[in-house]
Structure 1
Amino acid sequence: MTTAPDLARDVRIRELSRAHVMTSWSAQRAIDPVPLAGGEGAYFWDHQGRRFLDFSSQLVNVNIGYQHPRLSAAIAEAAGRLTTVAPAFAEESRAEAAALISGLAPEGMSKVFFTNGGAEANENALRMARAHTGRHKVLASYRSYHGGTAGAITLTGEARRWGGEPGIPGVVHFWGPHLYRSEFHATTQEEESERALLHLRHTLEAEGPGQVAAIILETVVGSNGILVPPPGYLPGVRALCDEFGILLILDEVMAGFGRTGAWFALDHFGVRPDLITFAKGVNSGYVPLGGVVIDDRVAATFDERPFPGGLTYSGHALATASAVAAITIMREEGVVEHAAQVGKHSLGPAATALLGTTPLVGDVRGLGVFWVVELVADHASREPASAAMMKAVQAGCLERGMWPLIVANRVHLVPPCVITDEDASRGVAILADVLAGVTP
């Protein structure tokens, strides 16, 4: 399904956007965003009549697919009831959404603080950890992204942080595991896990464990390479936190709600955090929503004293109504289980099969519908593919009707969780065809 081409509308939207919209993370004169006209399932299309198989899920958030009729209807119904309710009041969909979300978390995490997105979720998790422990330092890993607000960007462990510096005080970065580009000269996943944990222990000792309120990690690192933690790593971090009375915050903003083939990515690793941050997939991004799932011990800190934070739109009625509908739909339609099967039977095997087909492919890794193909200019040195090469790969995919997510030297294969096996295989086949024609 597409809409009829409307070139005049396409031109008008482009002109208005160039004149008035400041686009994030971009040099404004270097971009010309494509105006979108519609979408359905795992596809979207533009006003020129071009239809794309979406392997980006916009920003890895359209987990349930575009324009799910039941989810759209739930938002419309909520708008007809009461469009907005301040946090000081109770509201039905807010309470129901909190109950559903906490019910997906490990036992003993009964409360949810709602935000407008992932960055605010991480900001408030940071604030909760500091208030609960009375400590001020927070450890965060390199190769991470936690959001664009002041605290979240300081937690971030990559170049997007630099423009926001100097950041908030008390944040210390350390190296997490990544065997393909190991900082620890490891040759196996087991070595990488062991050495990364020893490095983290040494970092804690150097910073003073009694000064550290929390360690924050993306359960599966997202935009910095879809880094699945090696066996034993997350339980090892949990053990370090327990040893020193430190809270563990797991950032599930990108990895949660079906993306890895589980409700939360932490379900794969048998680890229980103290705080879980979420956003994106909780309602497929249909309305801005994020939040923090809180361990009961941490929540009890604020039984007798106020939590020092708040948002006008915390638990917005339309947003929480959309979360209730999305979670209900995902359960009834088996979306999470489907994502796991796609990863196991089509997307994962097709992506992994790219190894050895061309010298460009250095590494492939992932879970569920959360995969990455890392491209290199040289296999021996693992020198990342150039920006020009990545632009050629992107252009080739677009010409063939597949919209990839290109980040640095990587092609992220992150379609909606509802993608069919046939479309998952077809999207990877398009990438394979493009790579076959690109010269290293």
Structure 2
Amino acid sequence: MIGKWKWFRLAPPQVLTLGFAAIILIGAILLTLPISNTTGKPLNFMDALFTATSATCVTGLVVKDTGLYFSTFGQVVIMLLIQIGGLGFMTMATLIALVFKRRISLRDRLLLQEAMNQNTMEGIVRLIRKVIFFSLTIEGCGALLLAIRWSFDMPLGKAIYFGIFHGVSMFNNAGFDLFGHFNSLTGFVYDPLVNFVVMFLIVSGGIGFIVMSDLVDYQVHRKLSLHSKVVLSMTGALIVVGAVVIFIFEFTNPKTLGSLNWGGKILASLFQSVTPRTAGANTLNLADMRQASQFFTIILMFIGASPGSTGGGIKTTTFTILVGAVIAMIRGRDDIVLYRYRLAQERIFKALTITFLALFLVVGVSMILSTTEDSSFLMILYETTSAFGTVGLSLGLTPHLSLIGKILICLTMFAGRLGPLTFAYALGPKKGKELYRHPEGKIIIG
């Protein structure tokens, strides 16, 4: 199988990086074809590359209106890129191997372990089977419910097509939509079915396949792993806190919640709290929100989804470890304890490294964009964080980016999808075993 290829001698992070890059390039070439858009003219390569990167990295930032500019062929290409990017190209390669009953080599299992962010290869192929089953089942149910709802507003065939596209897009936390004029789901702010189906797709795609597997097996084992407990509790806490904060900040804003009734206010607040989990859909005009709400959304986008999911960001588990470290330090304790389990020092160092690399990337790109783009710094920071977290929420800057801006945002989306640590490993030298340790030193902190 794939393990026999010579380039698979590279380290797993390097293979994943090259694999995603190859998919993006193929997608960009397909999107440049005249058949991919409604104008009948070739799309310039930079815009095609940006769209392919956004789709493969399941981000949702767009320079061309997906629903109006791209033809059905182009939209299907985008949907396939979203599916491959959301599940990961190694998962798709494994699916093909399983269909043709090919053997999954040890090298392939190592790559799958890296792609799924697992600590061990044990049961990795079984997990991949579950990933594929969960994904297709949840996407199918979401597509069916959305198609039924939209069949009242459009022809049945179009409703089914819209249901499938948005089912795939929302479960994979991509945020691409077909409603045109960059309006996303603002026309459904009062619609409970569309809101709750989309929120379910976003959350289920964002908690990670390991957690899904744990929840399905709960009836058998009657317990959840520490990872699942942390992900579910932090996800729930962020959604509730986010909804309350947005509700408070936007309650009197006549351009957002102020014009809605109480039901609409609660539903819109909840949706706008869920969608920064790297989904990219919105039912309110984000540019009309107050700066406090926009900045709070930046924080939610930076945290992002959970490990082993279709989302980006530093991840909920990383944020939990950081909060745990602060609490432990304040209490004067040496260990971070979660649900009566002590975390290894290696986990803490990894969380700090991921956070620092992410901050360095977001701040660095934002500083450069502030010199190349004619826009406010908050808008630039919002767009950059959205790209890093593979969210896709936008205040309207993306379609007006300069060439340098598009390249930087593309690289940010790419790094955000792979994860800053994986990206750093792919570019960095191979680690070797340390032959000695230096004497311990002390510095003053605080």
Tell me if both proteins adopt one fold, taking TM over 0.5 as the criterion. Answer: no
User: Relative to total residues, which structure has the larger strand share, 1 or 2?
Assistant: 1
> What TM-score comes out, normalization by structure 2 length?
0.33
Q: RCO greater where, 1 or 2, for CA within 8 Å and sep 6 or more?
A: 1
User: Relative to total residues, which structure has the larger helix share, 1 or 2?
Assistant: 2
> What TM-score comes out, normalization by structure 1 length?
0.33
